A and B are shown apart, each in its own frame.
Chain A
Amino acid sequence: MPRYAMVIDLQRCVGCGSCSISCRNENNVSEGVYWSHKITETSGKFPNVRYHYIPTLCNHCENPPCVRGCPTQAMHKLDNGITMHDPNKCIGCRYCMINCPYGVIYFNWKNAHSAWKAENSLIKGVTSSPAEEVRKTGGKGIPYYNPERNVTLAGIRPKGVVEKCTFCDHRVNEGKLPRCVEACPADARIFGDLDNPQSQVNQLLGKFRPFRLKEAVGTEPAVFYIRDFSAAGYPRTKGGV
């Protein structure tokens, strides 16, 4: 069985967010929920100021606190290393959210895509309404509903359960890369099998000194970062006293 991981090359990453928006699209995720997200920082003082961007997602930890603390095993590990969630077993206790040190789990406090239930049109008889648009297109819940997500997990998660990135397990099962990896214009996300010594992820992990988020807490994330977002050079100097 493979042991999936992702390497994110910060030098290639341009901070565009295509990963996060395409993920939102692929997984029918509702507003305010970010399966793929980011940490940004503006550091320094003008004019010596930089902007940094670290793409984030569920780390699919080898030692996952969310799974260990889940009372119903709704949060569980798949054989391929993916940390998966089963909404049918979820009781909405949100212990996983408390246990996760990364804040990558989200709770459905309300019905997803509630804005698409509105029946009002702005110009009577001329413009549509969100609900009418959904009906006419035949999408479930949203006009651009992706039914392929529904093969392994509820296409739209119900109120009262949590949700998070699943490394696009539904795509991986079909031999396809996670959507964020496919959508990244910079090829900054590299997916692969840690148990395959020849995989590109292993080659990169050997070539560069990777870091992982909150390394010290012992979660053993499967998301590794290499190189730097800012690849700037600077004028050679020894500094001074």
Chain B
Amino acid sequence: MNKDKTRRKTWMEDFLGDIKMSRRSFIKASTATGAAVAVGSGLKPELKALAVAAPSGAGEMGQWLSATCQGCTSWCSKQVYVIDGRAVKVRGNPHSKVNNGAGCPRSHLGIQQVYDPDRIKTPMKRTNPKKGRSEDPKFVPISWDEALNTIADKIMELRNNNETHKYMLMRGRYSYMRDVLYDRMTKIIGSPNNISHSSLCAEAEKFGPYYTEGIWSYRQYDVLNAHYVLLWGADPLAANRQVSYYSKVWGDVVDKATIAIVEPRLSASAGKADEWLPIKPGQDGALAVAISHILLTEGLWYKPFVGDFSEGKNLFINGQMVDEEAFEEIHTNGIVKYWNIELKDKTPEWASEITGLSVDQIRRVATGFGLAAPHAISWLGGGPCMQVRGGYTAMAVHALNGIVGAVDNFGGTLKANKEYTTKFPKPDDFMDEIAKKGKKHEKIDQRGRLHIPCIKSGKPGSGVITNNAADGILNDDPYQIKVAIGYMNNFSFSAPQPERWERALSKIPFLVHITTNASEFSWFSDIVLPDTHHMFEKWGYVKAIGNGYRHVTLMQPIVKNVWDYKIDETEIPWLLAEKMAERGFDNLLRHYKEYRDPETGKEPTNEKEFALYSLKFVTQNLWDPAKYKGGDKFSGWEEFITVGVWNSNPYPFRKRWGKMKTKTGMFEFYSETLKAALEKHAEKHGATVDEVMKATNYLARGDIAFIPHYEEPYILGDEKEYPFIHVDHKSRLNREGRSANCSWYYDFKDLDPGDEIWDDVAKINPVDAEKMGIGSGDRIKLSSPTGSLICTAKLWEGVRPGTVAKCYGQGHWAYGRLASKKFGKEPRGGSSNDLIPAQYEALSGSSAYYAVTRIKIERV
């Protein structure tokens, strides 16, 4: 039968004279060429122009359309194969210079998410007035109109009672359309409470780079030009950031560079590295300062960046102070202070005791790292710094880049390239007196109080401390929250000690959730609105970095929506603005009308136009040739959405040497920037910096508070009662917390080294397990001082004895039929967060997820 097909095709080839054409695809190609293909519910064609990313080839029944994946924060540019408005498969977008056509495994699970039968089809409201973990909300379907009317009424009630500050917006998974809902709507209503999830993500990871290099952001690493890559608690082959790119090039990197991974468990990346440093959780700071000590005593610091002793002789001798005058520093600040105050006695022997690593390995890694300078990367992940005392560890790890001159350098650590998207129009003219007054209140997450400085980018009280908002709500401190909206967040699952959020959310009189699935957060909501899926159903954009570039990648509605979803960040706020205008408050609607279509100058007249125009508005510099500023050039909007991604100019190496956004303009080992920030915070509270250190649970006192240094980790739980340190990690199949209802998640779960399919395992070293008489497959209960979970034991050699490694992602008790064992009642597996206490790296406001609790194991 195959032979017949082949013969027929050859005949057809001769007839049509084109090797790739079949008759069917010939017809498809001629209709699809260049034209807009309207799909979806009665939409004007120009609003749903499906720009075909790649012309349909032979045998192709569908079209590749450009998209973006937000399965993790790699934010790759993608293409989705769509047949008759139906998504079939996903691949990387070859036009992106960041992920370069590559796609990680989690991207494919988006296909199961978009057609998840447990997605919410229509708005629903709670009919059971009681709220609680064990209270079935008894949701019933309602119309969009009823839902929006109710929400608008509740917001207007706050406005009419001059209590607008009691409105709260919780942001979860966002695009850069976020400010429409998160910022503008919150401000124009008149509340200070735009609360993001960022401190559940990795703010402490930005703390290190900011107070040394002056960048409060994630980095990209020039791995293909590196000779040594030292990763700390980062697993780029499995999770964050730019998994697709690093997966693509890793095989080449192992050829050219020595890769060393500091990680308590054998991660996916550690499996393909030269050195695995199985460090005791919480002790990364000790290793970082010991490596720094060796770099200085061995004379391995990079002289063109750091400088040198004017006499040439290396005076960094173990245990000896150094005269600052003896050293001429070039692009850094405080290397001698760093040595004198912290590094001088931090020998590898000292570190070996504390870290559990051999002196040999510490020396070997430090020396190898130093000899590779400046093409030596110290890659800070979330592991070492999302800990209670992780702020200074973050600095110490990132400061290694300063010592070896890798900052902004070939084969080193780079920041994000310039891009040219703009902001939305300002809200100021639309904020009335009520709004201005309301906004002046303290935020519900209490950021900036003495014990939680949250000094983002040098400004005390500016960083979010997400998990603490639960306490603010529970204690009505500073005031009660009466009306709250959360979108694509799930704090009662994703935050440490989520049980507090269950109580906090139960307390809020009116709660709205915008979500694709009824999750643990929805359970406490009064109204739930069905959200679009970012990869297939939404207009938006995000930016990402990798490979020396930055890309801006588009989200587009490219499939036929199966049910009645609306876009979280644009369509829903517009509709609410309309409802509020009907009720006499039209400030928000008038503000949104300023987001005109740059091509026609037209004001949006409905939510669909608003969603599209707002995207065109902020990306105009990228697609409009008249506004061209740099990077890829497009002929216009049509070409932009066809290609789906804009790439920046190549990386400008070494441009920031001596021009960093720090107080001194230099790379700071002695951080004048942190000193200024801490002093500002202390002054605000009439306190000393030492008192701030005490309040934030740091041991540093005096000058050492301004430099990277080792702090003993703060880990809850008595060692005798809780013998194991809990090691949390992420899965290469997690799409943040949202892939647990996909069958492919479970069928392929053993792609995480040591894990098992269709099971939720805690990985235990066999030596530890034997002592407890536990075998693989046994049902066990893990308990910490905070909570407990039930899962399965797995004996695995890739676990440091004295620790237990368990992957985050399972343990949902809502979300869907696969995610939970009994929807709304019983979890499938166990959630790490139930073990983890609500603790913080208080200087950044980050939640502490790692090296923060001990646990015990019992057979059940």
Contact = CB atoms under 8 A, between A and B. Distances in A.
Given A40-B750, A42-B753, A144-B88, A129 B117 contact: yes
Interface string A45-56: 111011111000
Interface string B156-168: 0000000000000
A132 B117 contact: yes
A27 to B, nearest CB: 11
Interface string A161-198: 00000000111011110010011011110000000000
Contacts of A138: 84, 86
B796 A15 contact: no
Contact of A126 (B140, B276, B816): B140
B255 interface: yes
Interface stretch (B218-226, B246-254, B831-839): B246-254
B753 A51 contact: yes
B60 A148 contact: yes
A175 B19 CA distance: 9
A121 B139 CA distance: 13
Contact of B2 (A14, A26, A50, A152): A152
A147 interface: yes
A26 B115 contact: no
A128 B117 contact: yes
Contacts of A130: 117
A128 B274 contact: no
A46 B801 contact: yes
B237 A147 contact: no
B120 interface: yes
Contacts of A143: 86, 115, 562
A3 interface: no
A127 interface: yes
Chain A interface helix/strand/loop/mixed: loop
A17 B86 contact: no
Nearest to A22: B108
A169 B6 CA distance: 12
B754 interface: yes
Contacts, number: 225
B2 A84 contact: yes
A125 B143 CA distance: 12
Given A21-B105, A31-B747, A147 B250 contact: no
Given A49-B798, A127-B120, A148-B59, A233 B247 contact: no
Contact of A11 (B88, B139, B254, B816): B254
A175 B798 contact: no
B43 interface: no
B753 A14 contact: no
Interface stretch (A58-66, A95-103, A208-216, A224-232): A224-232
Contacts of B111: 25, 144
Given A15-B268, A143-B86, A173 B5 contact: yes
A144 B22 CA distance: 24
Given A16-B751, A42-B798, A231-B272, A24 B744 contact: yes
Q: Contact size class for B?
A: 35 or more
Interface in B787-824: 796-801, 816-817, 823
Given A126-B122, A126-B141, A15 B747 contact: no
A111 interface: no
Contacts of A147: 61, 83
Contacts of A86: 1
Given A128-B117, A235-B364, A11 B251 contact: yes
Contact of B797 (A12, A13, A46, A148): A46
Contacts of A13: 251
Interface in B51-108: 57-61, 83-84, 86-89, 91-92, 102-105, 107-108
Given A44-B797, A46-B797, A235-B364, A127 B117 contact: yes
Contacts of B154: none
A93 interface: no
A176 B60 CA distance: 10
A24 B753 CA distance: 20
Contacts of B743: 31, 115
Contacts of B251: 9, 11-14, 186, 188, 231
Contacts of B799: 46
B247 A186 contact: yes
B747 A144 contact: no
B45 interface: no
A45 B5 CA distance: 55
B112 to A, nearest CB: 7
Nearest to B765: A46
Given A46-B800, A147-B83, A185-B104, A125 B141 contact: yes
B92 A185 contact: yes
Nearest to B796: A42
B650 interface: no
Given A42-B796, A136-B562, A16 B83 contact: no
A206 interface: no
A38 to B, nearest CB: 8
Contacts of B750: 40
Contact of A20 (B107, B238, B252, B748): B748
B278 interface: yes
A44 B120 CA distance: 48
Given A24-B744, A32-B747, A18 B108 contact: yes
A232 B112 contact: no
B291 interface: no
A174 B12 CA distance: 13
B732 interface: yes
Nearest to B25: A174
Contacts of B112: 144
Nearest to A179: B89
A21 B2 contact: no
B831 to A, nearest CB: 20
Nearest to A49: B797
Contacts of B121: 126-128
Nearest to A144: B111
Contacts of A126: 120-122, 124, 139-141, 518
Given A144-B87, A185-B248, A229-B272, A122 B108 contact: no
Contacts of A73: none
Given A15-B751, A78-B2, A121-B117, A182 B91 contact: yes
A47 B276 contact: yes
Contacts of B139: 123, 126
A15 B271 contact: yes
B109 interface: yes
B347 interface: no
A35 interface: no
A230 B276 CA distance: 12
A230 B248 contact: no
A217 interface: no
B258 interface: yes
Given A16-B237, A126-B141, A26 B89 contact: yes
Given A126-B139, A179-B89, 16 more contacts: A12-B252, A15-B271, A16-B237, A17-B105, A18-B108, A46-B799, A49-B276, A51-B268, A115-B743, A122-B118, A124-B140, A128-B121, A133-B115, A144-B89, A185-B248, A235-B364
Interface of B: 1-3, 5-6, 9, 19-20, 22, 57-61, 83-84, 86-89, 91-92, 102-105, 107-109, 111-112, 115-122, 124, 139-141, 237-238, 244, 247-248, 250-252, 254-255, 258, 266, 268, 270-276, 278, 364, 518, 562-563, 732, 743-744, 747-748, 750-751, 753-754, 765, 767, 796-801, 816-817, 823
20 contacts: A16-B238, A16-B268, A32-B747, A40-B753, A42-B753, A42-B796, A46-B278, A51-B754, A53-B271, A133-B116, A139-B86, A143-B562, A146-B89, A173-B5, A175-B20, A183-B103, A185-B247, A186-B247, A187-B248, A234-B274
Interface of A: 9, 11-18, 20-22, 24-26, 31-32, 38, 40, 42, 44-47, 49-53, 78-79, 84, 86, 115, 118, 121-130, 132-133, 136-139, 143-148, 151-152, 169-171, 173-176, 179, 182-183, 185-188, 229-235
